[in-house]
Amino acid sequence: MTGGTETLSSTRRRVQPVQRSSALLSPAVMFGTRQSWDIAHAPCLQELWKKDLSLDASSVDFLMSDGEDDGSFLSLPAASFSQRPPLTAELNTSSSHQLLIQTLQDKVCELQARFCSEEVSCQRTGGGAWTQGEEPLLAKPTGVKPNPNLFSRPEEEQLVSRLHTQVAALEQKLLDRTQEVERLRSELGATDLEKQLERLLVENERLKQELKSRRSSELQPDAAADGCSCCRHAQEAEALRREAASWENRARQREQRLAELQQELQESSCRAEALQLQLDDSRRRRSEGEQKLHLRLQECEEELARRAAAPPRVKVVTQTVQVESADSQKALVELQVKNESLQEQLSLQRQLLRELEAQLHDSQRTCTQLRTQIHVYEGEMQRAQGQLEADMQSLEEEKNRLIEEAFIRAESEMKAVHENLAGVRLNLLSLQPALRTLTSDYNCLKKQVQDFPSMLEKAISEAKQEICQVISDVSSTNQDLLRKYKREMNLRKKCHNELVRLKGNIRVFCRVRPVSQEELDSADAGTALSFDSDDDAVLYLSSRGKVMTFELDKVFPPQASQEEVFQEVQALVTSCIDGFNVCIFAYGQTGSGKTYTMEGVTSDPGINQRALRLLFAEVTEKTLDWEYRIVVSLVEIYNETLRDLLRQNPTDKLDIKLNPDGSGQLYVPGLTEIAVQSPEDINRVFELGQVNRATACTNLNEHSSRSHALLIITVSGFNSTTGTRTQGKLNLVDLAGSERIGKSGAEGSRLREAQCINKSLSALGDVISALRSRHAHVPFRNSRLTYLLQDSLSGDSKTLMMVQVSPLPGNVSESVCSLKFAQRVRSVELNSAASSKRHENSSTSSSPTHDSLELDSPPVTPAPLPISRASSAGSTLSSASRTPSGSRRRSQSQLAAGRLKLN
Ligand SMILES: Nc1ncnc2c1ncn2[C@@H]1O[C@H](COP(=O)(O)OP(=O)(O)OP(=O)(O)O)[C@@H](O)[C@H]1O
């Protein structure tokens, strides 16, 4: 025996004797030192310790006594006791352990009782010394006499201590089992299974989502895929195959993981079964140990009985006992106290054992529940595995279906691609001849390109020659066209003039003004005039019961508008653009509408403004070839005095003189001529004339009735293409009232005004009469008016007299006079031989360009035909141009011409 550890001996032998003094110490002292007991059945306990409690053999040392002592010595290492934790903190064993502990405790109590009874009997018998042959089995301590009567006490104490040690070992074993159960629970606990199950569920859900996303991505319509090549579908099919292989690997991994889990579960179940078997074996060994202990107790009782039956040995040690009785008594008391404390500890241990037994029951119940739960988890795992296998199966089927669809689609697309390829090949074969043709064409073109510079030079030279030829042809054509144009222009002038001539160079219109509202209200509201609905050139006048018929060129009824009147005179207006002199004058009694017809009102202008607007429009249309200049002058003749209404001092008298250039033309020195370029200029000219005319008189209305107002418009044109120059003059005259002096009863200045008016109008009549009579001398100089209008009343000039007539019955006599005068004028035709007239000595002209007119514009008027309108109409007009009323009009004109007399 070395160190603190005793080895197990295979034979029974005696070892160091236990010191009695230390054997009688307290259990705490005993547990803190090395102790030895002589136990009769030590092998049983050894077996119990080694098997039931699973103690290490190195930590337990059984020292068996020899056959003489018939006992065994059990030695435990002191360190194992000193290192033990408190019993109350660790006891945890099975019911069999508790039963064993209980049995041992009962046996300790019994031994203590016997010890007490033996001590009492020894005291009663006087004690005795130990005999040599009856020495106690335990070796006596040095210096201390052995006491045969007390030999059983340390033995029993040792037994009690040993039993305590067994209890502690059982507690330790119970604690180890509890820890083992906890470890198993932690290894196979529900938490891990639940975690494993949750992990599997999460993995399963993730696999489902991946499959769903893969399915959606594969089923997603791909418009571009239709046009993709076959290679792309093959790649997709390959990717799908790889994906399927990865899914298969994952499924195999899952299956392996499931197999591992099942393996672990089986191992855990096996381990639990092994533990259960081990527990059952421990129970069985405990029961065997109990039986052995029971037998050993019986043997101890028998031995005690046998020893009790040996009195001689007691007598030997009686004296010694008596000597040591005081100490024994004292020790007995101490032992009793210790015994009581041990009793208390035993009761506590019993209580703890009961609690531990309850805990053991709970542990067993918990273990059962855990097994049930394990079974449940196993079922769930099986279900999860089945679900997983079903999902894997469905995934596999879906994967196969998708792969098949992809293959089918790829095959169809491959087929289409092959067909397209075949078509392309056919096209290629068909295009090869075209390619050869194109190649030959290309070669030809290449050769042409190489030859192009020389061809280009040749073509350019030819083109130049052709262009020169064309230019010469065009220039000659232009010359022809220019000649034709000039001829056509002259022809147009001739036609126009012929038309005017056919209409009559002196035309006479009659306009009847409407009855005003005031005149309608008066008693003299009737009308003496009537019209022919079939002939617009006839006017009927009732006077003194007789109806007089007047035939004129045109009769405008009261409802005729300014525009309608101007439509009839605009042909004359445009004649002045062609270089003719035109004279339009309004004639009639006061208040018959002369000013209204010539000037009009602001809202409805008369001939003056309309004529100027028309001239502007016409010259504007001809701006391509012609340059025109339009100048205007405003002249008033009052009491045979000529005044310029456009100069700053209109009261200055003007004179008419012979042009000093020797041309024989007349002109008005100092006459203001204003060039107009727009209608606004015309308005400004008229406003200036009105202002000047108003400043020159006290009563404008009366003054205007007693004076002649002349608007002289000169149109000069130059054709830059032909070099032609033209100049025409348009005289628009608003004559003074034509009342007879006797009727008006005027005196003084009024008489002089009337005399001047009549003089000028008579001179006008005389001029016209002379023209009609083709007198060699035409008295233009008899009045300022005729003198000023000389060039517009002679030659190829065109004259229009607008006779204004009042419809009132009170003005019938004046209307008759005016109409007779108009009819006399109408019978006159001016000489159309311009050349002869323009070379007449008495001709006048205020235009310095008149010479150029003669030079550049040859006479277009036909040869002079100085016949009256009536005779010319019958001789020159074709039958087709005659109107139904033509013959009647001519006869009436002839009659009227014979009847009318100058005023
Ligand atoms: N055709 C017509 N339509 C409407 N009103 C007219 C027409 N003719 C003349 N009148 C009106 O008759 C009145 C007299 O006209 P206007 O002054 O023109 O006559 P006149 O002959 O010029 O007179 P005088 O010789 O005094 O100048 C004016 O109020 C004028 O507005």
Q: Does the predicted interface ipTM exceed a cut of 0.95? A: yes
**802: three-class secondary structure by DSSP:** strand
d(CA 184, CA 187): 5
Ligand 1 pocket residue status of 593, Cβ below 6 Å: yes
- Note whether 719 and 713 are within 8 A (CB): no
pLDDT above 70 coverage of the chain, percent: 64
According to the annotation, is 595 in a ligand binding site? Answer: yes
Cα of 514 from ligand 1 centre, angstroms: 9
| Torsion sign over Cα 76, 82, 88, 94 | negative
Residue 150 DSSP label = G
d(CA 264, CA 270): 10
- Average pLDDT (162-182) is 75
d(CA 655, CA 670): 9
pLDDT at 887 over 70: no
Q: Are residues 102 and 65 in the same domain?
A: no
Residue 881 DSSP label = G
Instruction: Tell the residue nearest (CA) to atom 10 of ligand 1.
Output: 593
Alpha helices (runs of H) in 601-670, residue ranges in sequence order = 607-621
What is the structure's pLDDT at 151?
Answer: 43
pLDDT at 243 over 50: yes
Ligand 1 pocket residue status of 804, Cβ below 6 Å: yes
Angle, alpha carbons 16-21-23 (nearest 5°): 65
Residue 441 lies in a domain: no
Residue 450 lies in a domain: no
Q: Are residues 883 and 735 in the same domain?
A: yes
Residue 891's pLDDT band, with cuts at 50, 70 and 90, is very low
What is the structure's pLDDT at 711?
Answer: 93
What is the structure's pLDDT at 27?
Answer: 38
Strongest mean pLDDT among 426-435, 498-507, 833-842: 426-435
Number of domains in the chain: 3
Hey, which bits of 749-835 come out as E strands? 798-805
**584: three-class secondary structure by DSSP:** strand
For residue 588, the ligand 1 atom closest to its alpha carbon is 21
Q: Which of 83, 110, 142 marks a domain boundary?
A: 83
Residue 224 lies in a domain: yes
For residue 701, the ligand 1 atom closest to its alpha carbon is 26
Contacts of residue 318, defined as CB under 8 A and 6 or more positions apart, other chains included, come to 122, 125, 126, 127, 128, 129
d(CA 339, CA 160): 10
Residue 524's pLDDT band, with cuts at 50, 70 and 90, is low
Least confident residue range of 4-13, 58-67, 142-151, 892-901: 892-901
Cα of 490 from ligand 1 centre, angstroms: 40
154: nearest Cα among 118, 178, 199: 118
d(CA 467, CA 457): 15
Q: Which of 379, 396, 417 marks a domain boundary?
A: 417
Residue 330 lies in a domain: yes
- Sort residue 846 into left (φ over 0), alpha (ψ -120 to 50) or beta: alpha
- Which residue would you say has higher pLDDT here, 520 or 865? 520
Q: Which residue type sits at 233?
A: H
Residue 482 lies in a domain: no
Residue 104's pLDDT band, with cuts at 50, 70 and 90, is low
Ligand 1 pocket residue status of 707, Cβ below 6 Å: no
Q: Which residue has the tokens 């030590």?
A: 42
- Which residue would you say has higher pLDDT here, 410 or 482? 410
Cα of 349 from ligand 1 centre, angstroms: 158
Q: Are residues 629 and 609 in the same domain?
A: yes
What does the radius of gyration of the chain's CA atoms come to, in whole angstroms? 82
pLDDT at 871 over 80: no
What is the structure's pLDDT at 862?
Answer: 26
User: Residue 818 pairs with which residues in a beta bridge?
Assistant: none
Ligand 1 pocket residue status of 562, Cβ below 6 Å: no
- Which range of residues forms the domain containing residue 74? 1-83
Residue 217's pLDDT band, with cuts at 50, 70 and 90, is low
Cα of 553 from ligand 1 centre, angstroms: 22
Domain CATH code at residue 694: 3.40.850.10
Residue 131 DSSP label = P
Q: Are residues 736 and 879 in the same domain?
A: yes
Residue 299 lies in a domain: yes
pLDDT at 22 over 50: no
User: Residue 600 pairs with which residues in a beta bridge?
Assistant: 605
- Average pLDDT (633-657) is 85
According to the annotation, is 588 in a ligand binding site? Answer: yes
Q: Are residues 548 and 603 in the same domain?
A: yes
Backbone angles phi, psi at 444, to 5 degrees: -60, -45
| Torsion sign over Cα 702, 707, 708, 714 | negative
Ligand 1 pocket residue status of 557, Cβ below 6 Å: no
Q: Are residues 739 and 645 in the same domain?
A: yes
Q: Are residues 36 and 127 in the same domain?
A: no
Backbone angles phi, psi at 432, to 5 degrees: -60, -45
Burial of 46 (0-12, 13-18, 19+ CB in 10 A): buried
Residue 168 lies in a domain: yes
Residue 77's pLDDT band, with cuts at 50, 70 and 90, is very low
Question: Which DSSP helix (H) or strand (E) runs through 550?
Answer: strand 546-551
Ligand 1 pocket residue status of 591, Cβ below 6 Å: yes
Q: Which of 388, 417, 446 marks a domain boundary?
A: 417
> SS3 breakdown of the chain: % helix, strand, coil, rounded to 5?
65, 10, 25
Q: Are residues 630 and 707 in the same domain?
A: yes
Ligand 1 pocket residue status of 737, Cβ below 6 Å: yes
293: nearest Cα among 96, 492, 582: 96
Residue 32 lies in a domain: yes
Q: Are residues 284 and 194 in the same domain?
A: yes
pLDDT at 900 over 90: no
Contacts of residue 450, defined as CB under 8 A and 6 or more positions apart, other chains included, come to none
Tokens of 496: 């126009």
d(CA 47, CA 522): 173
**pLDDT tens digit sequence for 345-376:** 888 888 888 888 888 888 888 888 888 888 89
Q: Are residues 94 and 4 in the same domain?
A: no
**pLDDT tens digit sequence for 675-705:** 988 878 888 888 888 888 766 565 556 666 7
- Note whether 891 and 750 are within 8 A (CB): no
Q: Are residues 385 and 522 in the same domain?
A: no
Hey, which bits of 82-219 come out as E strands? 128-129
Q: Are residues 838 and 857 in the same domain?
A: yes
d(CA 591, CA 611): 23
According to the annotation, is 717 in a ligand binding site? Answer: no
Burial of 421 (0-12, 13-18, 19+ CB in 10 A): exposed
Tokens of 7: 């080895």
According to the annotation, is 189 in a ligand binding site? Answer: no
pLDDT at 113 over 90: no
- Average pLDDT (851-874) is 27
Tokens of 199: 């992990």
For residue 737, the ligand 1 atom closest to its alpha carbon is 25
